[in-house]
Structure 1
């Protein structure tokens, strides 16, 4: 039987999912007062970085699907961290912008995010950390 040759905890998908679950746990324990989820942080950071964008641009830059982005943006708007407005050039388009409250929250959360990345990788030596980042970038291309 070929099932005996397939060991789930040695498969790349399983291991990536377990590593991601570990990272998410570290994220939630350390994000602090902002109460952002990791994907909310990503969206807020990206909107700030792009200095305003469409949902389509947000999907492209974050690799988060359209339906999920819509829900995240709605929640961040309700928290007054993002706003939407009509595009000045093309009135059919909607642009998403970060609010001053969003910038303030993001500044503190970004410091925490750096710490979270360090904590996620702290079980690896510096060479392993570089190798992991290199391999993850290559896998995500």
Structure 2
């Protein structure tokens, strides 16, 4: 998935720099879509003060039970520094607990507390609403295609 950067940009199909429009650039469009999704997420989750990365961690812990921080990070596509910060905040809020792995004392295992499980189950339904509202401008067929294509490039 890593791409080597060329010292010289590729110009194919007779494209000219005069033809470039930032508003058509993939990064720009993804950023705008992300802003939309983030704003909608905040409108639903602001009252519980949960971020999208925290929501991902909570729901994955609910799905999987007990996980190492490293494994949770891989499952939620977070780098080690990010997952460490996310789990620290969730532990500090009493939503996640940590314990040493009995088979590998160097590894710590994370799981939801009772309060974490209750909160997660209370807010998961908002996840459906967030997705529905974010994709609302698209037809059902477009939504399915869009999600398939995003999955393919992720």
| Fold shared, TM-score > 0.5 on shorter chain | yes
Pair 1:109 & 2:96 matched: no
RCO (CA 8 Å, sep 6+): is it higher in 1 or 2? 1
Which one of 28, 38, 47 corresponds to residue 52 of structure 2? 38
Which one has a larger percent helix, Structure 1 or Structure 2? 1
> Bigger radius of gyration, 1 or 2?
2
- TM-score (normalised: structure 2): 0.86
CA contact (8 A) 1:43 1:58 kept: yes
Q: TM-score, normalised by structure 1?
A: 0.94
How many residues matched? 139
Q: Deviating runs (4+, > 6 A) in structure 1?
A: none
In the alignment, what sits opposite 2:35? 21
Give me the CA root mean square deviation. 1.2
Report the more deviating stretch, 43-52 or 77-86. 43-52
Q: Which runs of 5+ in 2 are unaligned?
A: 1-15
Question: Where do 5+ consecutive residues of structure 1 fail to align?
Answer: none
Deviations 1:40-59 (A, max 9, x none): 10011112212111111012
